[in-house]
Amino acid sequence: MTVGLSAVTMVKNGRVEDAIANAKQSEEALKAIGAANVRTMLLSLSTPIRIVTTFEAEDQAALGAVMDKWQVDPRCQEIAAAGTADDGPLSGYLAETWIEV
């Protein structure tokens, strides 16, 4: 059973390029800690503009392992903090886990 997580980030006005760069850093970090099929997508018809980063895992245990690594890996924490800092490109985010049906 394939499971995963999708994070939808809201981009601050005028910060699209910075937000894409932050998302690409997240994508590379997720790959490095074991996430599979990592993708980044721009939702350009929404206001504010949103970016979705999604990844898959083999099962709930594998998903939990990736998320545990994200929480303790210094590079991952740096990327997350930079994105949502006061001077960062993101105004907020929503993350949801999912199960393929």
pLDDT in tens, the chain (101 residues): 899 999 999 999 999 999 999 999 999 999 999 999 999 999 978 788 999 999 999 999 999 999 999 999 999 999 999 999 999 999 999 999 999 99
| pTM given for the model | 0.91
Q: Give the length of the chain.
A: 101
Q: What is the pLDDT of residues 42-66, one digit of tens each?
A: 997 878 899 999 999 999 999 999 9
Q: Are 5 and 54 in contact (CB under 8 A)?
A: yes
Q: Are 11 and 51 in contact (CB under 8 A)?
A: yes
Burial 62-89 (b: 16+ CB within 10 A, else e): bbebbeebbeeeeebeebbebbeeeebb
Topology, domain 3-99: Alpha-Beta Plaits (3.30.70)
Q: Are 48 and 12 in contact (CB under 8 A)?
A: yes
Domain ranges for the chain, please list them: 3-99
